[in-house]
């Protein structure tokens, strides 16, 4: 009663294949290539814990030209479920690009809607009024308890808030780097039983129940700004073998996390490698490219904290690139009647 302490929760969680969904963290990577890129990534975290976190992110982006300038556009769809928590995000992206030397400088902006849906706590009440009190012994056989039972869900958050991201990046032939600020508008929301919460009381039995529940609890919170930095370099070795060292950093007001990755790729078809994280995590991943589809799997373990109890994390990703003329009508062959 004499000590006050704060507890902090993380908002953004790094993916093992963070380089495959760079656009999720930084909108300036939209339209990075000369193709239409589409990708999907699924993460199942802490598989040994009940109601373990599950996340799915889908991205798509393409380049386009306007007023003799190159631009990029993209969309992001993201959803996560952790117990009773169900959050989802849908966003649109735009990036402006300028050629500098042998690389491309990009400045991007992202705007979307975050749908927040979680239950802060529920309880069940069973009451037995003096008028309905039933003796524990010497009761007539036709007397039945008339307890009134009520179940109530309180402090349920179900709200949509605007979410804004911005970033800058530089992409060359073999090197890329990007810095972004996620949720820089710090979307805020307040949970009170009288306004933003959905309060529900169900009477299961008995003559009387609890019709009105009140609470003095009022909590206002917000999504913290998260700064993200990602960089990587391709080093050509021999026989179509490349080594790609990369780094990913996440930092907010409560925590910071770093990932260092070494990825090997052979003939642009087969890949594999490992990552080390600052919280004693290790990831091993492998992937392949077949018929234009690029897919992979990552397995992650931790040596401490909740990750050690959860034992393992699994992650799958799938990517496919379309050429810009894939959806354009193709010219039909014909013969000139003058040559017949």
The tens digit of pLDDT for each residue in 107-141 reads 999 999 999 887 655 544 444 555 555 454 444 45
Q: Kindly indicate the confidence band of residue 214, based on its pLDDT and cuts at 50, 70 and 90.
A: very low
Average pLDDT over residues 134-155: 49
The predicted pLDDT at position 205 comes to: 40
Residues 6+ apart with CB under 8 A from 291: none
Average pLDDT over residues 267-285: 92
For the record, the structure tokens of 277 come out as: 């994280």
d(CA 185, CA 163): 7
pLDDT single digits (tens) 314-324: 999 999 998 87
Average pLDDT over residues 62-91: 92
Q: Taking the alpha carbons of 300, 305, 310, 311 in that order, is the dihedral positive or negative?
A: positive
Model-wide pTM > 0.85:
no
pLDDT single digits (tens) 172-205: 989 999 999 999 999 887 655 444 444 443 434 4
Q: Which residue has the higher pLDDT, 12 or 329?
A: 12
d(CA 28, CA 107): 5
From 79-93, 135-149, 252-266, the region with the lowest mean pLDDT: 135-149
pLDDT of 215 > 50? The answer is no
Mean pLDDT computed over every residue of the chain: 80
Domains annotated for the chain, with CATH where assigned, are 18-128+147-282+321-328 (2.40.160)
Are 230 and 248 within 8 A, CB to CB? yes
The predicted pLDDT at position 49 comes to: 78
For the record, the structure tokens of 141 come out as: 């056989």
Q: Taking the alpha carbons of 22, 96, 251, 263 in that order, is the dihedral positive or negative?
A: positive
Average pLDDT over residues 225-248: 94
pLDDT of 233 > 80? The answer is yes
Are 86 and 116 within 8 A, CB to CB? no
The predicted pLDDT at position 291 comes to: 87
The predicted pLDDT at position 104 comes to: 94
For the record, the structure tokens of 244 come out as: 């790609």
pLDDT single digits (tens) 48-66: 778 888 999 999 999 999 9
pLDDT of 292 > 90? The answer is no
């Amino acid at each position: 009663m004499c000590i006050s302490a704060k507890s902090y929760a993380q908002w953004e969680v790094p993916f093992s294949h963070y380089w495959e969904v760079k656009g999720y963290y930084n909108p300036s990577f939209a339209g990075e290539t000369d193709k239409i890129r589409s990708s999907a990534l699924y993460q199942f975290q802490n598989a040994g814990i009940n109601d373990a976190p599950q996340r799915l992110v889908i991205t798509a982006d393409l380049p386009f030209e306007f007023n003799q300038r190159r631009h990029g556009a993209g969309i992001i769809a993201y959803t996560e479920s952790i117990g009773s928590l169900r959050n989802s995000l849908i966003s649109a992206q735009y990036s402006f690009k300028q050629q500098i030397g042998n690389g491309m400088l990009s400045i991007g902006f992202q705007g979307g809607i975050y749908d927040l849906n979680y239950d802060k706590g529920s309880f069940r009440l069973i009451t037995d009024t003096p008028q309905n009190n039933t003796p524990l012994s010497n009761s007539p056989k036709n007397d039945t308890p008339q307890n009134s039972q009520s179940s109530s869900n309180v402090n349920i958050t179900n709200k949509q808030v605007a979410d804004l991201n911005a970033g800058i990046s530089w992409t060359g032939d073999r090197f890329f780097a990007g810095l972004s600020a996620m949720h820089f508008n710090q979307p805020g929301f307040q949970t009170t039983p009288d306004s933003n919460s959905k309060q529900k009381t169900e009477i299961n039995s008995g003559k009387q129940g609890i019709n009105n529940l009140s609470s003095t609890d009022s909590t206002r919170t917000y999504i913290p700004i998260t700064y993200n930095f990602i960089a990587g370099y391709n080093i050509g070795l021999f026989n179509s073998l490349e080594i790609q060292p990369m780094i990913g950093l996440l930092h907010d007001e409560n925590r910071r996390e770093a990932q260092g990755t070494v990825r090997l790729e052979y003939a642009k078809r087969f890949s594999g490698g490992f990552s080390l994280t600052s919280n004693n995590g290790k990831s091993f991943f492998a992937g392949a490219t077949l018929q234009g589809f690029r897919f992979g799997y990552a397995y992650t373990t931790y040596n401490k904290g909740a990750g050690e109890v959860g034992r393992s994390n699994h992650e799958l990703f799938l990517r496919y690139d379309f050429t810009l003329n894939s959806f354009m009508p193709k010219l039909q062959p014909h013969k000139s009647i003058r040559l017949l």
